[in-house]
Amino acid sequence: MLTQIEGSKAIAEAVARCRPEVVCAYPISPQTHIIEAIGAMVKRGDLARCEFINVESEYAAMSVLIGSSAAGARSYTATASQGLLFMLEAVYSAAGLGLPIVMTLANRAIGAPINIWNDHSDAMAARDTGWIQLFAESNQEAVDLHIQAFKLAEALSVPVMVCMDGFILTHAVEGVDLLDADLVDRFLPPFEPRQLLDPANPVSIGAMVGPEAFEEVKVLAHLRLLDALEEIPRVAAEFEALSGRASGGLVSGYRLENAEVAVVAMGSVLGTLKDAVDARRELGERVGVLGVSTFRPFPEAAVTDALGHVERVVVLEKAFNPGGRGVLASDVALALAGRSVTSVIAGLGGRPITRASLERTVGRAVAGTLPAMSFLDLNDAEVAAERARVGASEGVAR
Amino acid sequence: MTRVPIRFYQVGSFAVGNRLLEDEDRTVQSDPQRTNSIDSGHRACQGCGEALGARYALDAAMRATNGQLAVVNATGCLEVFSTPYPETSWRIAWLHSLFGNAPAVATGVAAALRVKGRDVRVIGQAGDGGTVDIGFGALSGMFERNDDVLFICYDNEGYMNTGVQRSAATPPAARTATTDAVGPEPGNVFGQGKDLPRIAMAHDVGYVATATVADLHDLEAKVERAMSLRGARYLHILVPCPLGWGSASSDTINLARLAAESGIFPVFEAEHGVVTSVTPIRRRVRVEEYLKRQKRYAHLFGTQPRLEVIARLQALADANIARYGLVNDETTNATLED
């Protein structure tokens, strides 16, 4: 049954149905509505057997969950942007210790300059932490991914980050189908930790590992993350059988049949992108879309399979590595070695990505006039003027 | 404020456990059935005060909790020397995550155990760096929330694991790798540093105590007292470090005793911000007795002793004695002459 509900509240409802035992968070926009709603549920007593802990920082939030997860409790938090960076050391630690924590990342830009609006820079900064990173296209998918995330995390003993666009999704009110609690219970069994901090069977967790074994430990974690490429579609299929809804998985194609040009993207921009592609298809252009749901582990084979017949690939993404190119573009270019992959950076710091701009971009891709790397709707004149001004004041010849 | 009477077993013999006593007055360490929480074979230096302090404290906590204990350890010497993979010295449930997050991790363990309905107690532990510096924010948060955790700081007054650098627990005038004994004010400067027990008291936590590895009965009694209470508690143990202090490995216990007897390290208990008992100084010594046995203070002695610096350190010790009332009328040799 569809309920009109804000994205953040829908996430809180979904997380509550997963019966978390410890929820710990530090407030940061645009994640606040999620933790406020869960906090209220715990305070009212609606969420039985759950501890909600307000802490002094994101670093403490993730650290508390490291403790609670190691002691066998299903553990959840949410953060964004600077908060993710502030907890990053603990984010690595959680993955290194194999603790199946689930975290919502309400994607937001990273400062300076400080900016609270949406892009994917925060998720990219956590790319190498060893977490599974899933991206939601809609609030419905975000809700479904959270339920899948707990199952995935606990099956693999790997933490999972569910990325959803800040404000665009977190603060959008739209119809969402919330799975009944008994269905969630059937899908998600109680947490059985792989390793437990327990005086009845004392173990040392988090020992120091030197050069003689560190590489092997890291490779084993890498292989376990690659195992997720099998587990994610399996969990998505099981979820679909239960809910009747296809959500998540590795990648999802849209109008890729006989496509000459495909645009690869992640998150909520996929909706606008599909509209743009529909419009270009009306003009007779053979274009399609590939949505990447699983960013880490990177589903290289699935990307290659989906784009096997496509001549030109555009990667549209809300982050880049300064001095380099798009982050997702680099992954896709590696997967499609030898083919033309152009990188379009869009929506930084919440800049709107309009359907009109996307239609133009797809048109240029079809015409073959898209440069190797470009920024959508960039004010070129302003950039040029500022470079000229700074150059002149410092006496630098340009 | 109550004064702790001097017990018979504190006079004459400092032997561990003191086997002349009745069973109930003996230390946990003298009990052959003790847990041996941190087992032999670890890589601590000879004479390591921290290894000793951890064993005393955790064995006492294991007895006080009937073995229902989980321990969270910060990064540092204690973590490194006890768990060189694939070995471990810990015979208790033990978790290490990071340098600065042990108090928060301990909070999480306690929360999980509470929600699971298990009566397992939690101790967080760190060196002074992990407590007063990098772990301070997390510790203050744990105190403020009154989480059910005893946090133990094994204070050796510096970053010994990384090669003896200064921490906010390094005392004035002490030479470290980052406070060289050169210049007009050699060693660590005066007027800096954090007094964590008093900061803990300012959080109004239920129990704050200090102890040294020189007084085993006292240390064990404080752990036992701490484990009889709920909520946030703090125990600050002075643990001499032969490597970092430049002292003889056979002198660890003696230095811990001299730190207390000079007034450099006040030994007391407090509940909800109020000092409830102190360990009186029985045989008061001048700070030189403590300082001259450590190479980190060597620049204060020699052919041109820095008497004015020693006098400032003596003044700090005297201020501690006055603040906590460590010297009373019955104390013998209480006055410093010469």
Same domain, A210 and A357: no
Task: Say whether both A124 and A257 belong to one domain.
Answer: no
Identify the pLDDT of residue B31: 87
Q: Is B334 a member of any domain?
A: no
Q: Which residues contact A16 (CB under 8 A, 6 or more apart)?
A: A38, A41, A46, A47
CB of A228 within 8 A of CB of A254? no
Cα distance between residue A276 and residue A266, in whole Å: 15
Nearest to A375 by CA among A312, A322, A335, A332: A322
Q: Among partner residues B90, B109, B137, which is closest to A67 by beta-carbon distance? A: B109
Q: Report the pLDDT value the prediction gives residue B85, as an integer from 0 to 100.
A: 87
Chain B residues interacting with chain A (CB cutoff of 8 angstroms) = 67-70, 72-73, 79-80, 83-86, 88, 90-98, 100-101, 104-116, 120, 137-138, 140-141, 144-145
CA distance to A79, A81, A82, B108, B120, per residue, from A114 (Å): 16, 10, 9, 31, 44
How many angstroms separate the CA atoms of A248 and A267, rounded?
A: 11
Answer yes or no: is B2 within a domain: no
Interface-testing mutation among B59, B75, B81, B85, with chain A (most A C-beta atoms within 10 A): B85
Q: Which of A64, A77, A212 to mutate to test the interface with B (most CBs of B within 10 A)?
A: A64
Contacts of B78 in chain A (CB under 8 A): none
Chain B positions in Cβ-Cβ contact with residue A21 (cut-off 8 Å): 112, 115-116
| Chain B neighbors of A205, CB-CB under 8 A | 94-96
CA distance B38 to B226: 20
Q: Which residues pair with A174 in a beta bridge?
A: A5
Chain A contact set for B69 (CB, 8 A): 199
Residue B304, domain CATH: 3.40.50.970
Asked if the structure places residue B8 within a domain, the reply is: no
Site from A21, A65, A68 to mutate, B interface, most B CB atoms within 10 angstroms: A68
pLDDT greater at residue B53 or residue A396: B53
For residue A107, give how far its alpha carbon lies from the nearest alpha carbon of chain B (Å): 25
CA distance B80 to chain A (A): 6
Q: What is the pLDDT of residue B12?
A: 44
Of B68, B80, B104, the CB nearest to A63: B104
Ramachandran quadrant class, B276 (left: phi over 0; alpha: psi -120 to 50; beta: rest) = alpha
- Tell me: do A71 and A92 sit in the same domain: yes
- On the question of pLDDT at A192 being above 60, the answer is yes
pLDDT tens per residue, range A97-122 = 999 999 999 999 999 999 999 999 99
Q: Is residue A395 part of a domain?
A: no
Identify the domain containing residue A147 by its residue range: 2-243
Mean predicted confidence (pLDDT) in A65-78? 98
CA distance B77 to B81: 6
Q: Which residues pair with A5 in a beta bridge?
A: A174
Residue A90 one-letter amino acid: A
Note whether residue A103 is domain-resident: yes
Q: Which domain holds residue B283?
A: 15-324
A84 and A197 together in one domain: yes
Residue A177 burial (CB count, 10 A): 15
Q: Any CB–CB contact under 8 A between A72 and chain B?
A: yes
Residues A282 and A213 in one domain: no
A388 found inside a domain? no
Average pLDDT, chain B: 93
Confidence (pLDDT) at B338: 45
Mean pLDDT, chain A, rounded, equals 96
Q: Does A210 contact chain B (CB < 8 Å)?
A: yes
Is the CB of B107 less than 8 angstroms away from the CB of A64? yes
Give A205's strand partners: B95
What is the pLDDT at residue B334? 45
A279 touches chain B (CB under 8 A): no
**What's the pLDDT at B5?**
54
- Would you say residue A257 lies in a domain? yes
Taking CB atoms and an 8 Å cutoff, what residues of chain A touch B79? 206, 208
Q: What percent of chain A has pLDDT over 70?
A: 98
CB pairs under 8 A between A and B: 162
Chain B CB contacts of A60 below 8 Å: 101, 104, 107, 137-138, 141
Report chain A residues whose CB lies below 8 A from the CB of B140. Answer: 56
Count how many domains chain B has. Answer: 1
**Interface touch A22/B113, C-beta < 8 Å:** no
Residue A349 sits in a domain whose CATH number is 3.40.50.920
Task: For residue B141, give the chain A residue with the closest CA.
Answer: A56
Q: CB-CB: which of B85, B110, B138 is closest to A209? A: B85
- Residue A394's pLDDT band, with cuts at 50, 70 and 90, is low
Average pLDDT for A191-218 = 96
A270 CB near a chain B CB, below 8 Å? Answer: no
- Same domain for A133 and A87, yes or no, is yes
Residue A126 lies in a domain: yes
Q: Which residues of A68-77 are buried (b: 16+ CB within 10 A; e: fewer)?
A: bbbbbbbbbb
Using CA atoms of A321, A326, A331, A337 in order, give the dihedral in degrees to the nearest 10: -120
The H-or-E segment that residue A340 falls in is: strand A340-345
A47 touches chain B (CB under 8 A): no
Full 3-state SS string of chain B:
CEECCCCHHHCCCCCCCCCCCCHHHCCCCCCCCCCCCECCCCCCCCCCHHHHHHHHHHHHHHHHCCCCEEEEECCCHHHHHHCECCCCCECCEEEECCCCCHHHHHHHHHHHHHHCCCCCEEEEEEEHHHHHHCCHHHHHHHHHHCCCCEEEEEECCCECCCCCECCCCCCCCCCECCECCCCCCCCCCCCCCCCHHHHHHHCCCCEEEEEECCCHHHHHHHHHHHHCCCCCEEEEEECCCHHHHCCCHHHHHHHHHHHHHHCCCCCEEEECCEEEEECCCCECCCHHHHHCCCHHHHHHCCCCCCHHHHHHHHHHHHHHHHHHCCCCCCCECCCCCC
Asked if A71 and B80 come within 8 Å (Cβ–Cβ), the reply is no
Chain B residues in contact with A93 by the CB 8 A cut-off are: 97-98, 101
In a domain, A397, yes or no: no
Residue in A with minimal Cα distance to B114: A51
A219 and A296 fall within a common domain = no
Based on the domain organization, do A217 and A308 belong to the same domain? no
Indicate yes or no: CB of A65 within 8 angstroms of CB of B108.
Answer: yes
- Is residue A239 situated within a structural domain? yes
Output the furthest CA–CA distance in chain B (Å, rounded): 65
CB pair distance less than 8 Å for A207 and B93: no
- Choose one of A226, A243, A260: the last residue of a domain: A243
A254-313 confidence digits (pLDDT tens): 999 999 999 999 999 999 999 999 999 999 999 999 999 999 999 999 999 999 989 999
A389 three-class SS: helix
Residues A276 and A183 in one domain: no
pLDDT of residue A397: 43
- Note whether residue A398 is domain-resident: no
Per-residue confidence of chain B (338 residues) as pLDDT tens digits? 666 555 544 444 555 556 667 777 788 988 889 999 999 999 999 999 999 999 999 999 999 999 999 999 999 999 999 999 899 999 999 999 999 999 999 999 999 999 999 999 999 999 999 999 999 999 999 999 999 999 999 999 999 999 999 999 999 999 999 999 998 899 999 999 999 999 999 999 999 999 999 999 899 999 999 999 999 999 999 999 999 999 999 999 999 999 999 999 999 999 999 999 999 999 999 999 999 999 999 999 999 999 999 999 999 999 999 999 999 865 544 455 44
Q: Are residues A161 and A20 in the same domain?
A: yes
Co-location of A319 and A204 in the same domain: no
What's the whole-model pTM score? 0.95
pLDDT at position A282 is 97
Looking at the structure, tell me whether residues A275 and A206 fall in a common domain: no
A interface test, pick of B78, B95, B162 with most A CB neighbours within 10 Å: B95
To the nearest whole Å, the CA of B220 is away from the closest chain A CA by 21
| ipTM summary value | 0.96
pLDDT digits (tens, 9 = 90+) for A316-346: 999 999 999 999 999 999 999 888 899 999 9
Q: Which residue of A has its CA nearest to B81?
A: A208
A211 touches chain B (CB under 8 A): no
Residue of B nearest to A52 (CA): B111
Q: Total domain count for chain A? A: 2
The Cα of A62 is separated from the nearest Cα of chain B by a number of Å equal to 8
| A119 DSSP assignment | -
HSE-up of residue A290 (Cα within 13 Å, Cβ side): 31
Chain B hits for A201, CB-CB cut-off 8 Å, are 93
Note whether A207 contacts B: Cβ–Cβ < 8 A.
Answer: yes
A210 to B85: CB separation less than 8 angstroms, yes or no: yes
Assess contact for B5 and B212: CB atoms under 8 A.
no
